[in-house]
Structure 1
């Protein structure tokens, strides 16, 4: 099928969008609720609990919980810093409970240089705890808001690392569905890591599509917007949106309201700035194919199509995966618990894991088996 005919298929009128639940866009620089630490390989004697961690600072807060910078106070990894994500069960709707369990399950499966690492997971009667890496560089949203836009070499580096992370998820039949600057964290060495896996879907392929309408509207692929069924190809469209935003400081499709934005995604012609290189323009057009069958990265050769694109001609992919290429930006911090790159609105607050109301009886069934210790931690 030609691209033109496919476009017609993807321009059907929108249905009712009044009741859908979407991931919000931040209006000002603020750290993601899920944050991340430098990589450790500790060994502990027993599974941890909330009392195993000392609260140092608050890093972020959302409607469902908080994220703290914590220090492990016992075990052979005592003294190590982590980011502790605390979710209150009673504030989670059924859908959000399932997403929290999904995030835990996916993070428990994955070990990748450009994906945030889960070290522990445990629960109490009223709360869920995820102990994650603490990445001192904050998130890409804050950095992009500060700089306005990035030069092409910087964009190329971030896109290449993100492509490898997405490809790893896709190799496990996982579609990510929430790629945006807020969910991309920077380590102290300047490398990126994807975080926040609550909107992922497992068991997805070109044959086994998923029809959920979720994500952040501006980053949604046409097949997600139109609810025609989507696969991992939707993530490559989102990568194109992120690329455009990093290069220009603007979103490629952004209306005055949700419906107008969705209509633009389905129908609008892409405004291509003439200051972009020919290679950058070519890659954007290849990622912005409205027919997912024609989208770069979704062909029979998968990510190899992206790797071989002229925009990435200077990338040594083996060295990149090994993190042997020097990042274009390295955060500057004064010590290991420095939170300079996080919003002072939160870091100035006294960190407090306050009591919570007990959840409903059904919540206990959803979170059965939630506890986790990473395989390289030897609990006895």
Structure 2
């Protein structure tokens, strides 16, 4: 579960200025407050401006004192994630994933604030079986909290690491659900931009759930282009790397790279260093193992060339 919200990013504004990713420190307040059976009351909490109808049930007022910390699940450039149990009100004793973001870190620059707003807005607005569900959202004086469904199936990355490669039937099952999730996002005018095994979780029934929406681009209409340099290199489409402008098609390129990873055991253009990987994506030849079926080869060629 360690990579639930990991972000590998060399992010730049559209004008090309590099921005440093923010590494959120350990959440000492939350850890100390939850060391007993409950969590001490945090002063001055108030609701993040989200739709109550979509997020918080009825008029229940939620704060950190409603959750008991169980363990740390992971951390990334924009936050820290805990497994928690709800100890009061609705959903009593239900297990959730709690993403905690320090406001002081978020507001260091406009780009980080934009990422946080984008993730919050998308999780509020998008409801889909294969996209992680936002259950509650609230804030204290110094922190923002997103309470998300807990996905007990673990990361797709861990399953792929254990198996080495997936059989085509297994890969087809996962990829079909990912396609449905991406299509839904695209219909909402959202480009995902960070499709990789670490951002794909499995629920208790083994179905795919997309997580981590910090790198998404909202309000993208047909014909629109955006120029932000972001994502994880091995799964980034050429047009992102060349900064010539990209649209929703970059998600399909990443899907092809992910499909190759599932069937072969590594992304199609990976090398031992970042610069060589970029060169290989831009200029390298796609080499497909002979054991892949003609249908698999055809699909990978169509999205990764």
8 Å contact from structure 1 (residues 135, 187) kept in 2: yes
Structure-1 residue corresponding to 2:161: 145
> Given the alignment of the two structures, is residue 255 of structure 1 paired with residue 271 of structure 2, yes or no?
yes
Q: TM-score, normalised by structure 1?
A: 0.64
Change (3 A) 1:171 1:263: same
- Provide Cα deviations, 1:42-66, integer angstroms capped at 9, x if missing partner: 9454121111111122212335432
8 Å contact from structure 1 (residues 42, 76) kept in 2: no
Structure-2 residue corresponding to 1:343: none
Q: Aligned-pair distance for 1:235?
A: 0.1
Q: Aligned-pair distance for 1:22?
A: 8.2
Query: For residues 181 and 196 of structure 1, what CA distance do their matches in structure 2 show?
Result: 12
Question: 2:74 is paired with a residue of what secondary structure?
Answer: strand
Q: Please, what is the CA RMSD of the aligned residues?
A: 2.2
Q: Aligned-pair distance for 1:18?
A: 10
Structure-1 residue corresponding to 2:283: 267
Structure-1 residue corresponding to 2:67: 53
Structure-1 residue corresponding to 2:83: 69
How many residues in Structure 1 have an aligned counterpart in Structure 2?
Answer: 257
Consecutive unaligned residues in structure 2, runs of 5 or more: 1-15, 23-54
Structure-2 residue corresponding to 1:198: 214
- Provide Cα deviations, 1:193-246, integer angstroms capped at 9, x if missing partner: 000000000122441110111111111111111111111000000000000000
Structure-1 residue corresponding to 2:191: 175
8 Å contact from structure 1 (residues 223, 230) kept in 2: yes
Question: 1:119 is paired with a residue of what secondary structure?
Answer: strand
Structure-2 residue corresponding to 1:282: 298
Structure-2 residue corresponding to 1:240: 256
Structure-1 residue corresponding to 2:34: none
> Given the alignment of the two structures, is residue 219 of structure 1 paired with residue 238 of structure 2, yes or no?
no
> Given the alignment of the two structures, is residue 210 of structure 1 paired with residue 229 of structure 2, yes or no?
no
Structure-2 residue corresponding to 1:89: 103
Q: TM-score, normalised by structure 2?
A: 0.79
- Provide Cα deviations, 1:243-286, integer angstroms capped at 9, x if missing partner: 00000101101133222111111111101100000110000011
Change (3 A) 1:206 1:255: farther
